[in-house]
Structure 1
């Protein structure tokens, strides 16, 4: 896992010059993990001026949930979930509660809730029917959305003593890979693997999605394709497997405006909007299958396009540019 620092001249910049030289980002913190990193998330109240808040959660193969220091890359503590035979179990997905007081881990058969200030094996366990491939927490109602590889989304109210299910949604064709709430709107956006459509749900009427057809991106891979929502909840952005970024205006759902930008030569698997600055981060890369002979077309590789390989992290300026007279 790598932590990169935003170029210092962009901290207070209101606009930049088109002639500004490009920075080569270098990893300021590097954590060498011994297995696949399943999921990670930043502490929601993080402030760079307060070192105690600068940390992130990560879950990886054959390890408990771990909290890492963003200044030095040190391991602060671990949150250990156990299965039915008292073996340490890896979480498939992880997130903080909206105020950072709780750590929520999604496992194969349970949802485990830890107190952030009480590491170890003390947790509340909630049984679920399918592995929790993605989770998201709503700040207004303490509603947790749990996505699964069986293409279903379950809504849970963690304020109830018995943590009963609110409802279950089954509209996606593939396993759920990412979920995000639109805070202040009582809405949820979901995406799935090998499913081109992002779905927008209204929590007040969950029977049918509010919008699907106009939130379309190309997703022909099983990997997680992230999307993000601007801090004012006006814009939804997502990459796709052709290296294109899609941006949709959420202000008018009756006529959603879409903008597209071709930014990568390979799959654009990650997008992240800065919460206060006009900066967009994108990442690229995917697994490439080796074909013995690209000229030998058969049923297995017919129509397959050999895409160039690119594994990069790029920061983009989305604000004003300086006009040179």
Structure 2
């Protein structure tokens, strides 16, 4: 079903509230653009009116509130008994898989969906040595080198998103036996990761980001954004890999530009896309080319934002500077301030959570052996400097735990560097990979670390130069022998994604 703009306006003004919410969910599932005037929440659209009450009316209102509160308490007191006897009511406390959620939602959609409950007593990170849980490797040849380009856990901790060079993007699920695990059994075998969703895009994926309120039990929220070379920003479905919609940025000659960096606002209503000369702000509910432009003077390589200041964004650029913009001010005023300190272009920015204070900013750059922590209340110089090995132009990720106690980062030597932010500043270097550890992502719910490895290697063609490079060593070939076209030698470098248990073990 296709809706034009006039139809959407008529629907938004004539339909009831519940009908609008159902129509919005249906439109999202069918990849149809809808008007931003349609209501997508269940809150009352009526404004709050200012009235004056008499003393008698106020007393009567308070009495009604007390009666309502006593009624709510009586209802709550019954809930534990229902939970204890949940088996006789057909309620299962096991984790629902993504496929089961799709089938149930397609047959009998619910009005209210219960969110997944995390572990009540989660184990702390890095209490003991890391134990490998699962692994996935990609073969690589002289013609097509496959290597990972980072990894990222979904906000609910159930899915891992991994972009792979020349092999698109993969979504891998957390092994089912780990959902209820508080300790790791030593008898557990290493499982082989398989792609639950594979988007086979060719070319280079510049950036990808999860929807901030993603929940596997709510299919409409299971999505991510990705920017690819010569393509607009695409929104992908995390259940079946379908293309939901696109957000297109155009240049002065009306040609599609590829976004270099992406970020959602914390409420998920806005999309910030960084380009070479501007920041484009899209409305998530309005796919297409309509957006707000904020001109800048350098290419935006990464974007970060705090919940306390939703009208401002902090951006890194390829010139090696961090700039803070107020989107309410005129672009002619430029950034509010500019931070230096890195030798190369900024590759990642990350604000700490509310427990540490959202004014702490962490930054990393390419070909720069420093991770910097900034206090945005006094940003004249970095607050702390962390050392890591980064000698390539690729993005080497870092991440923070949910409680902001641990900082973890990969490096080009295959090490996982871990810092205790509340204690010793010296890193614990853990050798995990034989090649560059380009991706690190800490699960927000479980004590599980995901790492990815690989990078591009310049390999000479043995058919023309009579030599090839395997695992960093040169192997000479017979000058009179030429390899057939279909018999190319594999490039033996580690290109993998792994999951590691970092909590308590038995």
What is the aligned counterpart of 2:347 among 146, 158, 177? 177
What is the aligned counterpart of 2:297 among 129, 136, 141? 129
In structure 1, what is the Cα distance between the partners aligned to 2:348 and 2:285?
Answer: 27
Partner of 1:64: 232
> Could you say if the C-alpha distance between residues 206 and 28 of structure 1 is closer, same or farther in structure 2, counting changes exceeding 3 Å?
same
In structure 2, what is the Cα distance between the partners aligned to 1:308 and 1:129?
Answer: 42
User: Does 1:309 pair with 2:478?
Assistant: no
How many Å apart are 1:309 and its aligned residue? 1.0
User: Does 1:104 pair with 2:275?
Assistant: no
Gaps of 5+ in 1: 294-304
Which runs of at least 4 in structure 1 moved beyond 4 Å after TM superposition? 305-308
2:272 is paired with a residue of what secondary structure?
strand
- TM-score normalised to the size of structure 1? 0.91
Partner of 1:167: 337
Partner of 2:369: 196
In structure 2, what is the Cα distance between the partners aligned to 1:35 and 1:287?
Answer: 14
How many Å apart are 1:140 and its aligned residue? 2.1
Contact kept, 8 Å, 1:55 with 1:68, in 2: the verdict is yes
In structure 1, what is the Cα distance between the partners aligned to 2:426 and 2:182?
Answer: 26
Contact kept, 8 Å, 1:140 with 1:183, in 2: the verdict is no
What is the aligned counterpart of 2:416 among 245, 252, 256? 245
In structure 1, what is the Cα distance between the partners aligned to 2:395 and 2:196?
Answer: 25
In structure 2, what is the Cα distance between the partners aligned to 1:169 and 1:136?
Answer: 14
Partner of 1:33: 201
Partner of 1:231: 402
Coordinate RMSD, CA, aligned: 1.8
Contact kept, 8 Å, 1:139 with 1:183, in 2: the verdict is no
Contact kept, 8 Å, 1:279 with 1:316, in 2: the verdict is yes
2:325 is paired with a residue of what secondary structure?
strand
User: Does 1:281 pair with 2:454?
Assistant: no
Partner of 1:52: 220
Between Structure 1 and Structure 2, the one with more strand by share is 1
In structure 2, what is the Cα distance between the partners aligned to 1:139 and 1:259?
Answer: 31
Contact kept, 8 Å, 1:181 with 1:188, in 2: the verdict is yes
2:336 is paired with a residue of what secondary structure?
strand
Partner of 1:116: 284
Between Structure 1 and Structure 2, the one with more helix by share is 2
How many Å apart are 1:257 and its aligned residue? 4.3
In structure 1, what is the Cα distance between the partners aligned to 2:394 and 2:173?
Answer: 26
Partner of 1:320: 504
1:180 is paired with a residue of what secondary structure?
strand
- TM-score normalised to the size of structure 2? 0.59
Bigger relative contact order, structure 1 or 2 (CA pairs below 8 A, ≥6 apart): 2
Partner of 1:146: 315
Gaps of 5+ in 2: 1-168, 463-471, 474-490
Larger Rg: 2
> Could you say if the C-alpha distance between residues 315 and 141 of structure 1 is closer, same or farther in structure 2, counting changes exceeding 3 Å?
same
How do residues 292-307 of structure 1 correspond to structure 2 at under 5 angstroms? none
How many Å apart are 1:231 and its aligned residue? 0.7
Larger mean CA deviation between 306-315 and 137-146 belongs to: 306-315
2:384 is paired with a residue of what secondary structure?
coil
In structure 2, what is the Cα distance between the partners aligned to 1:19 and 1:82?
Answer: 55
Q: Deviations over 1:131-161 (max 9, x none)?
A: 0111112222123111111111111133x24
> Could you say if the C-alpha distance between residues 12 and 157 of structure 1 is closer, same or farther in structure 2, counting changes exceeding 3 Å?
farther
How many Å apart are 1:290 and its aligned residue? 2.6
